[in-house]
Structure 1
Amino acid sequence: MGVITFTEEFSSPVPAGRLFKAFVLDFDHLLLKLMPQVFKNIETIEGNGGPGTIKKLNFTEGGEVKYLTHRIDALDKEKMMYSYTIIEGDAMDKIESISYEIKYEVSSNGGCKGKIVNKYFPKGGVELEEEKIKEARAQAMGIFKVVEAYLLANPDAYA
């Protein structure tokens, strides 16, 4: 089985710059604050936050996943584009890696629109279960919605 690619477009009433600052630039701190029941800690293993940086996300006890490690591949603050690859994790027995490319754009209504491209790279000879992929994508969108709700409730945050 080859690479499996999903492309999703989304819109938000939150301005693009605020979402980018919160969800990308301050991801580590904000998720620990907003979702302590999910994230135990996020540690930088290597790098300074730019491309090449490797981070390990440790999840709280009781969940399916204990940790994921990702590498930042690109970070363009001007174009509000971010890409990273999950390169390791205890739930990655069938997957070599998962890459994400996220782009935020200003929309005419004062909010933003965005595009996410996910690429799943299965290990040789492995069939990925579509249901598992859908679950993972729904969880990622759930995290996005938590951040979006926080920004809507706190209009001065990341302004």
Structure 2
Amino acid sequence: MDAYCIYQEFIIAASRDRAFRAMITHVNDIMPTLQPHIIESMSFICGDGGPGSIRQTIFTQASGLADGGPIQHRVDVCDPENYVHQQTMIRGGVLFPMMHSVIYKVTYEDLGHDRCICKVATEYHPKEGTGLSDIHTGKTTNLSFYQNIIEYIVNDPEAYV
């Protein structure tokens, strides 16, 4: 079956340093705080956030995302000097049984004057019988997570300085 790649870009009214810190380095702390109705916890169950580390996300029952169990992502690349992060979904969640793999690559480009572009490439490798509507659901969920963090750091100029 073919792979599908979805590209998304966000202009963020914050420096790429702040965006990377909030959306990558400190995401385990910020997401359960910003979305307690969806995310019960996020933590590294193996490693310290560098390549090879495993991050586990546990969703609340009320979110409707808990049925597939906790999601685990393996960090493939974490390069704060070049503002690049890549991870692969390796287990769990409602989407995983329909996929061979899902790879997320996030880069941040400086626009100057406390602005940056966040570029997200999500590569879906679906199993036979998986429809585009399933992929769209995954894309929409990821988009809401990014939007919440962006809104938070834009509204609080002291956050993650």
Q: Distance in 2 between matches of 1:96 and 1:137?
A: 16
| Aligned equivalent of 1:58 | 58
The Cα shift of 1:76 comes to 0.5
Task: Verify the 8 A CA contact 1:39 1:58 in the aligned structure 2.
Answer: yes
SS in 2 for 1:62: helix
The Cα shift of 1:43 comes to 3.0
- Cα RMSD of the aligned pairs, angstroms, is 1.4
Is residue 70 from structure 1 mapped to residue 111 from structure 2 by the alignment? Answer: no
Q: Distance in 1 between matches of 2:99 and 2:65?
A: 14
1:4-153 → structure 2 map (5 Å cutoff): 4-66=4-66, 67-91=70-94, 92-123=96-127, 126-153=128-155
Identity of matched residues, %:
25
Across the two proteins, how many residue pairs are aligned to each other? 157
The Cα shift of 1:109 comes to 4.7
| Cα distance per residue 1:17-49 (max 9 Å; x no partner) | 111000100000011111111111123221121
TM-score (norm. length: structure 2): 0.91
TM-score (norm. length: structure 1): 0.92
Q: Distance in 2 between matches of 1:144 and 1:63?
A: 17
Residues 1:97 and 1:64: Cα distance change in structure 2 (over 3 Å): farther
Q: Distance in 2 between matches of 1:89 and 1:64?
A: 14
| Aligned equivalent of 1:156 | 158
Q: Distance in 2 between matches of 1:75 and 1:29?
A: 17
Q: Distance in 1 between matches of 2:37 and 2:79?
A: 30
Deviating runs (4+, > 4 A) in structure 1?
none
Q: Distance in 1 between matches of 2:45 and 2:124?
A: 23
Q: Which runs of 5+ in 2 are unaligned?
A: none
Q: Distance in 2 between matches of 1:84 and 1:116?
A: 11
Task: Verify the 8 A CA contact 1:88 1:97 in the aligned structure 2.
Answer: no
SS in 2 for 1:156: coil
Q: Distance in 2 between matches of 1:7 and 1:90?
A: 22
